[in-house]
A and B are shown apart, each in its own frame.
Chain A
């Protein structure tokens, strides 16, 4: 599987959704790590080494916007792949803010079916590492 070895971090506070995405991605062959709150998420992102980070915005302890802000000033030890927001906050103002803070994608959970989520993830991974495919 070409997805093998790709490490994805899922940052999601809702247990059912977190486990849902975890299962979905693991079945696709990705290596999945999870974080249930903002602080753990920041710690793991700072450690680095993820091919993709799926970041929720509304989180306990520290929200996604602040994580993006922190990452701008103190980059990860081992570089990560793209950070994609996966959230239910659909306002264009929030979306714009996320892109400005360095997010490379923005997915609205309630608007996407699971297969669509997978398509999006795949496309982000491809965009970030065009060499891996070739």
Chain B
């Protein structure tokens, strides 16, 4: 009975040893577990020939058992360090372990100091331990088991999540086994001098196996479960093969009447398991050989990843990235079928970007992915392998998960998809790559999946970059287009306005000219009637005609002034400044007014002769202003008067003041003086009689300001005359060197000013 347990525990341990190697043979953690499990299995197995000696006597087997204990303790130490993070064992620990165990091995092999002898009794073999047996027990318990458990506990305290549970079960399994072994194989033989319970300790390997199995079942990854499944298949095969051999051997012995030989049976079991293992290895090696022979490349994983990474990271063109990726994967795996889909946020579904080899129409493929990705991927965006899904879903249906897996497997089967690879950035699936079988029909290996994982990661980033870049490009194009459209519209509008402006100008010019022609006729004929009449005019008729004449003159002045204002306000007036001698300009104006005979009033002009610097102004415009001001003074002086010109300078500016002895202005009216149509309450009569327009001062102010000057008026009050003062910049090196700031050059057509009425 004990032997049956021993055999089971041993086989299960050996099976457990295969699992992590299949999952990842390079991981130190997995290796340490496999090694411990393997040694434990062999160790337990040796109890069978010890109990039923064959080939050698029990003394030999018990010595073998103890040698294996040395190895097992080493394995425990290794496991204690390496599980589950792959840490390497401390060098000191290895040294101490070796130093402590070498004498034990020596004692076991060459002396009776450790194991003295074995007696066969009816209850089984009885081992007599030597005087140094305690030393071995102590060394093993403390230096091996103790340190291993200590490390597991230490790691357990720090660990989180899955690793914590794994550590807990490993600790429990190892502790139960170790403590049992220490008691049954150490304390009991030393204290009670009996080795009757030796074999029982082998059964306790079941504790370790059970705990490990439970931990795998509950807390390990899905894919290790798949590996476990494979191991079970392996065990079954082994079981079947050895069963067949056993039946054969038993039948042979029964027919020939020979005795059953337990040793042979055991060897059959071991051999058949080895055979299964070798068979699988041989198959895979021959596959590789065949593949090489058939010319299918076995790719260098590192190299391909490096190259692909470089190519993906050096392009921002999405279409080129997709092409690159498809070319590369088709090349590496010798694929016939492949497709890439990218998620479109606008349409809220996956859109097929490129497809190679699939028979389905594009729409169908898109539909398939849009239906199942929404179900499977959001939960765990990992590579979906058809093989894995098939295995997982081949069992009985327990619930939703198995059911949906089965559906997925069916869909993948129907559409000949071997792998579905999600492209994930920022926890969002941006696309999917689907690939069919390899041309060689080989399954995808762990290496392939690792490669595809790395590739998917790099591809996702590259795609995301390309997409962002594309969006920015698109946005730029739209923006440029919009700006262009707006500019074009503005240009169009501007041209339209220019045309309209020109039309308006032309109309104003022509209209005013046309107005002036009949007005000139009225004015001329009125003058003739007054001056060249061949009959004497009554006083009444004379008065009427004078008013016709003055009003016509006023009308003509109005038209001229309005034209000038329109030109000033629309910026059509050119200002060409030059140094102007204001004294001589004033003298010219006095001459002009004096000889124009525009008035029969008696006037006296006085110019306060002073040395003043030249001003920097447009002489034509300044002349217009001065004429207007003198004209005003004449208009607003009833009969006789005097106009005084005075000058003042502070070095930077020159003031020209024109003082008259006219009607003057009330304080309230001063502020209105320079406004358009400024109707001054106290001068209205004078205005209408004199033919004034009320626009002259407004024009003068504008012209002076265009020349960087100022104009102001002052009066002592009604009846006390008016003084108008113009201030203009002096023409010195400073202003002359900045002539461009004083110059005004209209962009469009330049218009001159209409003559002012005096």
Contact = CB atoms under 8 A, between A and B. Distances in A.
A complexed with B: yes
Nearest to A116: B597
Contact of A17 (B517, B532, B752): B517
Contacts of A110: 516, 519-520, 523, 556
B620 A88 contact: no
B755 A17 contact: no
Interface in B728-757: 750-755, 757
For the side of the interface on A, what is the size category? 20 to 34
B503 interface: no
Interface in A3-52: 14, 16-17, 20, 24
Given A113-B527, A114-B527, A14 B754 contact: no
Contacts of B556: 110-111
Interface of A, helix, strand, loop or mixed by DSSP: helix
18 contacts: A14-B521, A16-B521, A16-B525, A17-B517, A17-B521, A20-B524, A88-B517, A91-B754, A93-B751, A108-B755, A109-B516, A109-B517, A110-B519, A110-B520, A110-B523, A111-B755, A114-B524, A115-B527
Interface of A: 14, 16-17, 20, 24, 58, 88-95, 108-111, 113-116
Nearest to A108: B755
Determine which residue in A93, A108, A111, A116 has the highest number of CB atoms from chain B within 10 A of its CB, and name it.
Answer: A111
Contacts of B521: 14, 16-17, 20
A88 B516 contact: yes
Contacts of B531: 114-115
Contact of A88 (B513, B525, B527, B751): B513
Nearest to A109: B520
B752 A92 contact: yes
B511 interface: no
Contacts of B519: 110
Contacts of A109: 516-517, 520, 524
B51 to A, nearest CB: 133
Nearest to A12: B517
Interface residues of B, number: 25
B560 interface: yes
Contacts of A115: 527, 531
Given A88-B517, A110-B556, A111-B757, A20 B752 contact: no
Give the 4 A-B CB pairs with smallest separation, nearest first. A91-B752, A92-B752, A93-B752, A88-B516
A106 B512 CA distance: 19
B528 interface: yes
Contacts of A94: 752
A91 B751 contact: yes
A108 B516 CA distance: 10
Given A58-B513, A116-B597, 9 more contacts: A17-B517, A17-B521, A20-B528, A91-B752, A92-B752, A93-B750, A111-B556, A113-B523, A115-B531
Contacts of A116: 597
B520 A88 contact: yes
Determine which residue in B516, B531, B757 has the highest number of CB atoms from chain A within 10 A of its CB, and name it.
Answer: B516
Contacts of A108: 755
B755 to A, nearest CB: 5
Given A91-B754, A92-B753, A17 B620 contact: no
B520 to A, nearest CB: 5
Contacts of B752: 91-95
Nearest to B758: A111
